[in-house]
Amino acid sequence: MPHETIKRLALYLRSLRYLAEKRVEIISSEKLTEHIHASPAQVRKDLACFGEFGVPGVGYQVKKLIAEIESILGLKEKREVALVGIGKLGSALLAYTGFRKFGFRISALFDNNPEKIGKKISGLKIEDVVRIEEVLKRRKIKIAITTVPATNAQEVANRLVAAGIKVILNFAPHYLNIPQGIIINTIDMAIELECLAYFLTHKI
Amino acid sequence: MPHETIKRLALYLRSLRYLAEKRVEIISSEKLTEHIHASPAQVRKDLACFGEFGVPGVGYQVKKLIAEIESILGLKEKREVALVGIGKLGSALLAYTGFRKFGFRISALFDNNPEKIGKKISGLKIEDVVRIEEVLKRRKIKIAITTVPATNAQEVANRLVAAGIKVILNFAPHYLNIPQGIIINTIDMAIELECLAYFLTHKI
């Protein structure tokens, strides 16, 4: 499935859960698209790939559609996540409830600061980064989030690769050189803001 | 300039500054592409748009190229940013030094929690969200970052629009309905992770 389709399915799911909390039972594709940037035709096409969930002329049953998308995205399995870098951003990510809604559970913490190693946060002990390989191999953790400074980012990435990590969400503002077959996405918040603000300087 | 070009320019800049810190004076387009996901031809094409910065067969002068890209992206002007939602993520963003490297300065803070309003953090007073319109209009701030919960996100977006904000970087995990002409990007960290982890469930 293309990356963009997965993203839209995740966005539908987020909206549908929001609607379910508000006790909405049925939703039309038109109404659903008001919650994401996509056309009703796109919504119908995306959902058509996975069988017939809708009632023509009425809409989709919210709860049923939630269960179907959860199953498609594989959210029924719990997925353990390692977090490397327990600074301000790391602590914010640890406290972020959004990950749990997608079945992710941050369950291993690493830092290289001797003052932090051995301390507990949210019931989890912060381990030394030198133990990444040992701990993640033993616990078969395949997903990692890194928030380490740029200067340490490549070294941490190398450790994660050696530990068998397959998926990295990287917040370090630095390009990481990783082997093929490992999936990485770097979120550089300053660059995201720059991409928006450029238009402010040049258009307004 | 297309969004993707701006993003690559910002990535070049990030790498060039890193190289400058390491006292690298000249870099080839081949070497520069090792720092981002782009071909040497793409690098040469991007930089060719802005005149001749390179010495053929040798490379680009790092410092000169930094100055040129900073000028193209408009980084020489300081850009004030409002931050709405001073929770864990908001505090982490406030402490994040990456924004300053791109000329952004978070200089107005807002929250709706009476226990936070009036308190100071990083030398800035946290204002009540009901004052967004008054404060931002007076100070002519056009860029905002929001980290408020999904349930408050639309209300805050409406206030920001009324205050004359033109650019919003939104971390609230919710779709925001905003008028045309206002530029918004929503970073939903759980959905970013889901997009990567999907491949783990289905490929490995």
Residue A47 annotated as binding?
Answer: no
ipTM of the complex model: 0.85
pLDDT tens-digit profile of B85-133? 999 999 999 999 889 989 999 999 999 999 999 999 999 999 999 999 9
- Residue of A35, A74, A169 lying closest to B201 (CB–CB): A74
Residues 6 or more apart whose CB falls under 8 angstroms from that of B127 comprise B108, B109, B110, B111, B117, B135
| DSSP bridge pairs for A108 | A82
Q: Collapse the DSSP code of B164 into the 3-class scheme (helix H, G, I; strand E, B; otherwise coil) and give the result.
A: coil
- Residue of B73, B98, B183 lying closest to A188 (CB–CB): B98
Cα radius of gyration rounded to whole Å, chain A: 20
For residue A14, give both structure tokens.
Answer: 């987020």
Residue B126 annotated as binding?
Answer: no
User: Which of B28, B190, B55, B106 is CA-nearest to residue A193?
Assistant: B106
Burial class (CB in 10 A: 0-12, 13-18, 19+), B51: exposed
Residue A145 contacts B where some CB pair is shorter than 8 Å: yes
- Residue of A173, A184, A199 lying closest to B98 (CB–CB): A173
Residue B90 annotated as binding?
Answer: yes
Rounded to the nearest angstrom, the minimum Cα separation between A14 and chain B is 8
Rounded to the nearest angstrom, the minimum Cα separation between A115 and chain B is 19
| DSSP bridge pairs for A81 | A106, A143
Cβ-Cβ contacts under 8 Å, B183 against chain A:
196, 199-200
* B171 to chain A: closest CA residue: A189
pLDDT bucket at B50, cuts 50 / 70 / 90 = low
Rounded to the nearest angstrom, the minimum Cα separation between B180 and chain A is 13
Residues 6 or more apart whose CB falls under 8 angstroms from that of A196 comprise B143, B167, B168, B169, B183, B184, B185
**Which pLDDT score is estimated for B204?**
42
- Residue contact B98–A6, C-beta within 8 A: no
Q: Which domains does chain B have, with CATH numbers?
A: 3-72 (1.10.10.10), 79-191 (3.40.50.720)
Cβ-Cβ contacts under 8 Å, B99 against chain A:
189-190, 193
At residue A175, φ and ψ (nearest 5 deg) are -70, 135
Q: How far apart are CA B21 and CA B23, in angstroms?
A: 5
Asked if B129 and B156 touch (Cβ cutoff 8 Å), the reply is: yes
Asked if A53 and A60 touch (Cβ cutoff 8 Å), the reply is: yes
Other CB atoms within 10 A of residue B180 CB:
4
Q: What pLDDT tens digit does each residue of chain A (204 aa) get?
A: 777 888 889 999 998 998 898 899 988 888 888 777 778 888 888 877 665 666 777 788 899 899 989 988 888 778 999 999 999 999 999 999 889 989 999 999 999 999 999 999 999 999 999 999 999 999 999 999 999 998 899 999 999 999 999 999 999 988 888 999 899 999 999 998 988 888 777 654
Q: Collapse the DSSP code of B183 into the 3-class scheme (helix H, G, I; strand E, B; otherwise coil) and give the result.
A: strand
| DSSP bridge pairs for A104 | A79
Q: How far apart are CA A196 and CA A202, in angstroms?
A: 11
